[in-house]
Amino acid sequence: MKKLILLLLFIPVLSFGQDQTYFDGPYIFIEKNILIEKKIINGKVFSKILRTSSYDTTYSPEKSTFNNIRKIAALSDIHGQYDLVIELFKNNKIIDENLNWRFGKGHLVITGDIFDRGDKVNEVLWFIYKLEAQAKNKGGRVHYLLGNHEYMILYNDLRYLHEKYKTSSTLLNLEYDELYSEKTIIGRWLRSKSTIVKINNNIFTHGGISEDFISYGDFNLEKINDTMRKSIPQLKKLRKSRNEVKSDSIFYNVYYGNKSLIWYRGYFKNNLTDTDISKILKLVDSDHIVVGHTSNEEVVQLYNNKIFGVDSSIKKGKYGEVLIIKNKRFFRGTLNGKSIELVSK
């Protein structure tokens, strides 16, 4: 029986459909002196004890500013579309055929929203977790920034959760946000992540930077990221609901409102002028801002290459692109790997 269980733990990923046949996991829980790995196969939970040395259990935040980076790739809003992202990364030479880092000393930025909608969220998370370590070993970096859907999940706001994960939560006898609490490997890893970074003269964040957000106080990336990390709920007994966060109206409006870094859509919706954008860029000491959150059919540039939108509707599971920045030039990396320069209009 033990051999059978061990064999089952390594069965390849199965599809999730109406027959409720699926694979999910691993979810790795941190206990006092051990790690407990849990996987779900065909409606049954399989557990395995791991040594604490199997994974890091402490994750320190990285700095928020990086300079002299020769190449950058950016995309957003993956929403559990694992297979599509693998294809996109392979064809744009970010990973090799064995799914290993191929981007050298380059930086890959995911501007939020791996969670929700799709049915391979956990696969994407573990893939990025692995890729992050590989990139660092090669002198590169992976920056996984938290978007509105990450914060929604961490506050147990499950409006866009795929049915598969509701089933997983029930089978594991835990609320869904507890699968990503500080008592899990991925949960601790998530809590180390930034919401905004600056690479060379480019700022990356999920929704965008509004003039209102800047006006609330000192625009300091380290301070902003620290504030956002501290806002993430910790132990369940101390967890604040979204309504409790909203009760602190000033904090909520600044960091979680519709003009916050994770929810703002003004570049696409507010008919801003080139002068408006130039003012924002001057205030944040940057030449370009790269954002996700607002869906387009491809990577787009706005305001004469000052703003780039990298939510290319990957969430639909049919197509996606990546923004490539090399030598101060900007390119759309298409799904088939074609490189198309983005030129100011």
Q: What is the CA radius of gyration of the chain?
A: 20
Closest CA to 43 of 165, 167, 163, 162: 167
Question: Which residues, other chains included, contact 283 with Cβ-Cβ below 8 Å and sequence gap of 6+?
Answer: 211, 214, 219
Q: What number of other Cβ atoms are within 10 A of residue 182's Cβ?
A: 13
**What gap in Å lies between CA 194 and CA 151, rounded to an integer?**
12
Pick from 296, 238, 298: nearest CA to 267: 296
Reading the chain (345 residues) residue by residue, the pLDDT tens digits are 333 333 333 333 333 343 446 799 999 999 989 999 999 999 899 999 999 999 999 999 999 999 999 999 999 999 999 999 999 999 999 999 999 999 999 999 999 999 999 999 999 999 999 999 999 999 999 999 999 999 999 999 999 999 999 999 999 999 999 999 999 999 999 999 999 999 999 999 999 999 999 999 889 999 999 999 999 976 554 455 556 655 667 888 999 999 999 999 999 999 999 999 999 999 999 999 999 999 999 999 999 999 999 999 999 999 999 999 999 999 999 999 999 999 886
- Amino acid at residue number 184: T
Instruction: Starting at the earlier edge strand, list the strands of the sheet with 35-41.
Output: 23-30, 35-41, 44-50
Q: Name the pTM for this structure.
A: 0.91
Look up residue 102 and give its two tokens.
């191929």
Q: Is the peptide bond before 26 cis (omega within 30 degrees of 0)?
A: yes
In order of start, what are the domains of the chain with their CATH numbers? 2-54 (no CATH), 65-341 (3.60.21.10)
Query: What tokens does 104 get?
Result: 């050298």
Q: Answer for the pair 20, 163: CB distance below 8 angstroms, yes or no.
A: no
